[in-house]
Every structure is written in C-alpha cells, then in structure tokens.
C-alpha cells in the first residue's frame, strides 16, 4: 500500500476527514485538482453540532478566531433595500450571546458549542494548514483524480499531477469531490430527487464601508442575512470579514448583478465585484454511499438548497461518522458492520436533511410569492401588501433560520451497530428534545465541577458511563467489548444532574458520542451488545 486511505477532494469535508483520520493515526493521501483553496463564496455557517465535533479534535477555537467576531449581530431581515425601514426583523443572538446561553443552560436542551459564521474560503485554508501539519496526512493540490480499480485487497487509483500520471494503492478511497463527483460517476451511482429548481447568479463583492454605514434606525441595521422583497429572489449575505458580501439573484447577466447589488444596498458605496457565476438549486440524494472499498461523502451524495445551513454541515457529519469506522477497521478491532453502517446511518441523515431543506425553501417561496410591485407605494394597498408579506415571512422565514432539531436531534435508526429498539422520539427539524434513545447524540450536560460531559468522552474507542452512583455490575459488558480488542473507558459519573437528564444508570457511547445502548442494569446478553457495538 502507498497509503491506507485516499481522499479525493479537499473541500471542508475531505479536509475534515483527513484531519480526523490523521489524528487517529491513519495514514492518508488527500488530493485536490485545484492549485489552492479558492476565494469563492459557498457555505458561511458552521452549525452547533459541527462546532461540537470540531471541538473534539481541538479546532473549535481556531475556527472561531478565523470567523466572524463574536459581538456581531446575527439578525435576519426582510427588506426593500438596506436604506429603508425593514419589513421584518428576526432577532438571533450573536456568537458571544449564544456562548453565554450555552454556559447557563443545563437541562440538556442546549449545545456545548453555538454556531459560528465562517466562510468556506476562510475555513478551507485553516483546515488545510492543520492537515499539512499532521505527519500521517499527505496533502497534494494540483493533483487530478482520473480513475480507479478495486479488488478484494484494496483500491488502485490513477491520478495526474504536473502532466505526469501515477497510481496510488490504498486500502480505502473516499470521494469528497462535490456534486459532479467523478468518483461517484465512475461507480455509476445516481443522484435522484428534484434538480434545477431555480437558477440564480451568485456574486462576491468587497465593500469595506457597508457594514459600518448600515443605517441603524432608518434602515434594518446590522445583521447577517438581508432578504430583498422583489421578483428576483434577491438575497444579500454578510460574510465573515464584514468587508465581503454575497448576493444571490435571478438576473440575466453578470453585469446586472452590479446593478442589483446597488439596488439592494440603496445608497452609494464603493465596491468591487470579485466573482460572479450561475448556480442551480437542487434537492438530490445518491442511491448509495458506498461500493466495496470506495465511499462517498458530502455534496457527492447529497445536494440541498442552502436554506437551513445543512449542506456543508451534513458533509462534516459524514466525515466524522466514517473516520472512526475506517480507523477501527484498519486497527483490526472493527467488525464488518462498522463500515456497513456508514451508508445506513448517513444516508438516512442525508434524506432527512434534504427534506428539511425542502421544508425551509417552500416556506421562503411562500412569502416571496406575495411580493407586489406596489410595495413601496404610500397607499392603503401598498401598506397592506407590505404588512401581509411581513406577517407570512414572520412564520415562513423562521423555517430557514431555526433548524436546531435537524442539527442536534438526528438519530440513527436500524443501524447494525446500535442496539435499536422499536419506537423512539419523533424527528423534528426545528425543535430539539434531549434524549438518550439508542442512536441519538449524547445531550450536552455541565457537570458539578463546571466541565462538560462531552469533554470527558475520549476520542478513541467506546465509553461506558456509570451514572448516579450506580452499583450495577458491568464487568461482563466490559469484557465483551474488550474481547474484540476495542478500546473502552469506564467512567463513574456521580453528578445527579447527569443522571436526571440522561434518565438511565448505564449508557454505552461510540467514539462519535452517539449512544449504542442504555439501561439501568447490565444487559442480559453482554456478548451480544459487545458484538453489535464493535461491528461483529
């Protein structure tokens, strides 16, 4: 083998996968056909669950330092322009305010980390520098994936760099190579769903003065999203530097995007349009996430409309799910069902998040359909039209910005590595109800000494939580898990708050903090629990 894992595509998903694998001691090669990360607007928010996962590998503080400063408002507006009173203001806490909320919330309903506004063109170079610092990771830009062949023992990929063609032999290959994924296409796996729902243009502008000149009082004030009520689906986004802005609109040419930016702002500013390109809204899901030793992750298997911020964040979830399973398999203690579970777990999450994106985008289309050309008229009809649109947007636009259930509440069902039981709580997009039902994420709890339960969970192997001063005999379960060579940490957690919120005396966790099994006494068949948990 030239390496253990070959990762194709160095976007946020491929870079995250490389870093997590590298930190687990897995040797990997990451290839990217571009010469360097591009300064193009794509994702602009890492959600709460993504930030929790980045915290586990020591990157949350670095991402926050690179992203939008913590005191900036995160409000969302519906406007006619930035120079007129807003039709609607939806208030959301700044990162600093959200951090304060996280520190004082201890009923399981909150996250350990709040969201962070950070642009993809900011986070990619940061992740690249981290990946390059790991001795286990070989990062190769200007390297194009050409083709591959796989057999029972591994994958042989052909790549091209500097006009030269070479092969890379690896145990596993992961395609993190976007919506037009060459890896997926060679596998013959189809994307299905709703494609080409709307075509827009997206432009990136540099405007150093706009943020400071936003007219507080007579205008909407400072925020992160400005939805312009018009017939062109115009949407202005503040990027993480406050000097760069992204505009989406259905205008017919790149040149018109300059005019559209000026109309949206509504007062003269100095600006430069740095890039402009068309894009299409899609709601698509791949038929499969795996073929033998080749896996797919991120946009290669799910494409969503960026309502709800579920695109890159879902892909990061794919990376963290797949990473520990590949590592466990290569380390020799993971059974075949670990890798088999990747598609079962992540495809259902992708399907739910495509549905959540659809739900949010339908809401946005609903209030946008109420636009009328007389919105600015100082007439009874004009005023009534403004008020009607704002009232509907006050309900429907929230669907885009309030997705905490989709972020924290997803639960793996029918996974071969979880002791699943029939029933379970409903999956909700907008509400999060903490649960320790098998398959769910362990809810965040502050312990009596001020530390977070999540921070106590080791990165490697399984963790058995013994809660509420339980005297349950767990030796049989411990022996069953360790019999496969799997790492296991047993933690006695006497804190009453944890027992109250988690609702059980015993909880078995995977490395990604999803729950394998729970109970108030040791399982009757500990060998079965151990075998299921480890993929055997």
Q: Give the domains, in start order, of the chain with CATH numbers.
A: 3-68+116-194+283-357 (3.50.50.60), 409-533 (3.40.30.120)
Closest among 466, 488, 436 to 108, alpha carbons compared? 436
**Local structure of 187: helix, strand or coil:** helix
Q: How many CA atoms lie within 13 A of 413 on its CB side?
A: 13
Instruction: Name the pairing type of β-strands 462-467 and 488-493.
Output: parallel
Scanning the structure block, which residue is given the tokens 């299409």? 280
How confident is the model at residue 408, as a pLDDT?
Answer: 96
Instruction: Name the pairing type of β-strands 76-79 and 199-206.
Output: unpaired
Q: Is 423 exposed, middle or buried (0-12, 13-18, 19+ CB in 10 A)?
A: exposed
340-370 core/surface letters (b: 16 or more CB in 10 A; e: else): bbbbbbbbbbbebbbbbbbbbbebbeebbeb
Strand ranges in 188-342 using DSSP code E only, listed in sequence order: 191-194, 199-206, 225-228, 235-238, 244-249, 272-280, 283-286, 290-291, 294-296, 302-303
Instruction: Name the pairing type of β-strands 143-151 and 154-161.
Output: antiparallel
**CA–CA dist 321, 303 (Å, integer):** 18
Both tokens assigned to 283: 């709601």
Threshold 0.85, pTM exceeds: yes
**CA–CA dist 286, 300 (Å, integer):** 8
Instruction: Name the pairing type of β-strands 294-296 and 290-291.
Output: antiparallel
Rounded to 10 degrees, the C-alpha dihedral 498/324/320/177 comes to -170
Q: Which long-range contacts (CB under 8 A, 24 or more apart) does 150-158 make?
A: 150/291, 150/292, 150/293, 150/294, 154/1, 154/293, 155/6, 155/293, 155/294, 157/6, 157/8
Assess contact for 201 and 249: CB atoms under 8 A: yes
Q: Where are the alpha helices (DSSP H) in 375-422?
A: 380-396, 398-401, 404-408
Both tokens assigned to 503: 């609702």
CB atoms < 10 A from the CB of 50, how many?
A: 27
Q: How many CA atoms lie within 13 A of 56 on its CB side?
A: 23
What are the mean pLDDT values of the chain's consecutive 10-residue runs (536 residues total)? 97 98 98 94 90 98 97 96 95 97 96 96 97 98 98 98 96 97 98 95 97 83 95 96 96 96 96 96 97 98 91 96 98 98 98 96 97 95 97 97 95 96 91 97 98 96 97 97 98 98 98 97 97 98
CB atoms < 10 A from the CB of 521, how many?
A: 13
What confidence tens digit (pLDDT) does each residue in 267-300 have? Answer: 999 999 999 999 999 999 999 999 999 999 999 9
Q: Where are the alpha helices (DSSP H) in 105-209?
A: 120-133, 182-187
**How far is C-alpha 235 from the chain's CA centre?**
22
How confident is the model at residue 515, as a pLDDT?
Answer: 98
Assess contact for 48 and 408: CB atoms under 8 A: yes
Query: Rounded to the nearest 5°, which phi and psi values hold at 401?
Result: -100, -5
Assess contact for 145 and 33: CB atoms under 8 A: yes
Assess contact for 367 and 389: CB atoms under 8 A: yes
Both tokens assigned to 148: 């591959």
How confident is the model at residue 218, as a pLDDT?
Answer: 72
**How far is C-alpha 528 from the chain's CA centre?**
33
**CA–CA dist 511, 21 (Å, integer):** 13
Assess contact for 19 and 322: CB atoms under 8 A: no
How confident is the model at residue 450, as a pLDDT?
Answer: 96
Both tokens assigned to 30: 């990451």
User: ∠ at Cα 181 (176, 185), nearest 5°?
Assistant: 130
- Kind and range of the H or E run holding 155: strand 154-161
Q: Give CA separation, 522 vs 179, 472, 476, 507, in Å.
A: 46, 6, 8, 10
Closest among 293, 354, 338 to 148, alpha carbons compared? 293
Query: Rounded to the nearest 5°, which phi and psi values hold at 225?
Result: -125, 135
Q: Which long-range contacts (CB under 8 A, 24 or more apart) does 419-427 make?
A: 419/516, 419/517, 419/523, 419/529, 419/532, 419/533, 427/352
Let me know how long the chain is: 536
Scanning the structure block, which residue is given the tokens 């408002």? 73
């Amino acid at each position: 083998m030239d390496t253990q894992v070959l990762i194709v595509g160095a976007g946020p998903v491929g870079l995250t996968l490389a870093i997590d694998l590298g930190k687990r001691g897995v040797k990997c090669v990451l290839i990217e056909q571009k010469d360097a990360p591009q300064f193009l607007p794509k994702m602009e928010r890492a959600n709460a669950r993504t930030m929790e996962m980045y915290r586990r590998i020591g990157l949350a503080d670095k991402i926050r330092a690179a992203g939008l400063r913590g005191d900036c408002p995160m409000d969302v507006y519906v406007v006619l322009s930035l120079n007129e009173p807003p039709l609607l203001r939806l208030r959301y806490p700044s990162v600093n305010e959200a951090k304060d909320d996280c520190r004082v919330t201890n009923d399981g309903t909150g996250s350990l980390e709040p969201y962070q506004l950070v642009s993809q063109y900011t986070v990619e170079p940061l992740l690249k520098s981290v990946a390059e610092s790991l001795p286990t990771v070989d990062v190769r830009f200007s390297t194009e994936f050409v083709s591959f062949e796989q057999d029972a023992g591994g994958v042989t990929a052909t790549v091209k760099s500097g006009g030269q063609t070479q092969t890379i032999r690896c145990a596993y290959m992961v395609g993190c190579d976007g919506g037009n994924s060459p890896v997926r296409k060679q596998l013959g796996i189809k994307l299905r769903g709703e494609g080409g729902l709307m075509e827009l243009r997206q432009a990136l502008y540099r405007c150093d003065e706009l943020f400071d000149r936003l007219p507080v009082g007579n205008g909407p004030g400072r925020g992160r999203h400005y939805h312009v009520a018009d017939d062109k689906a115009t949407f202005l986004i503040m990027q993480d530097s406050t000097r760069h802005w992204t505009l989406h609109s259905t205008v017919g040419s790149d040149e018109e995007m300059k005019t559209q930016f000026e109309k949206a702002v509504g007062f003269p500013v100095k600006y430069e349009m740095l890039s402009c390109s068309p894009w299409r809204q899609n709601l698509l899901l791949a038929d499969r996430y795996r073929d033998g030793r080749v896996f797919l992750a991120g946009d290669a298997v799910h494409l969503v409309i960026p309502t709800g911020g579920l695109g890159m964040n879902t892909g990061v979830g794919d990376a963290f799910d797949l990473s520990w399973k590949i590592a466990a398999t290569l380390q020799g203690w993971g059974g075949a069902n670990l890798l088999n579970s990747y598609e079962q777990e992540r495809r259902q999450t992708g399907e739910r998040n495509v549905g959540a994106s659809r739900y949010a985008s339908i809401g946005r289309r609903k209030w946008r359909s109420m636009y009328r050309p007389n919105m600015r008229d100082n007439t009874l009809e004009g005023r009534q039209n403004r008020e009607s649109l704002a009232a509907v947007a006050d309900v429907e636009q929230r669907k885009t910005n309030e997705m905490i259930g989709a972020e924290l509440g997803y639960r793996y069902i029918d996974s071969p590595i979880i002791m699943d039981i029939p029933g379970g709580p409903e999956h909700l997009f907008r509400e999060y109800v903490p649960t320790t039902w098998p398959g769910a994420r362990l809810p965040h709890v502050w312990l009596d000494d001020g530390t977070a339960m999540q921070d106590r969970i080791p990165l490697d192997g399984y963790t058995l939580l013994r809660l509420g001063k339980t005297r349950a005999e767990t030796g049989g379960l411990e022996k069953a898990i360790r019999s496969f060579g799997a790492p296991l940490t047993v933690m006695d957690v006497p804190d009453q708050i944890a027992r109250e919120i988690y609702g059980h005396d015993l909880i078995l966790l995977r490395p990604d903090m999803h729950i394998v099994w729970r109970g108030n006494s040791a399982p009757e068949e500990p060998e079965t629990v151990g075998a299921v948990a480890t993929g055997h």
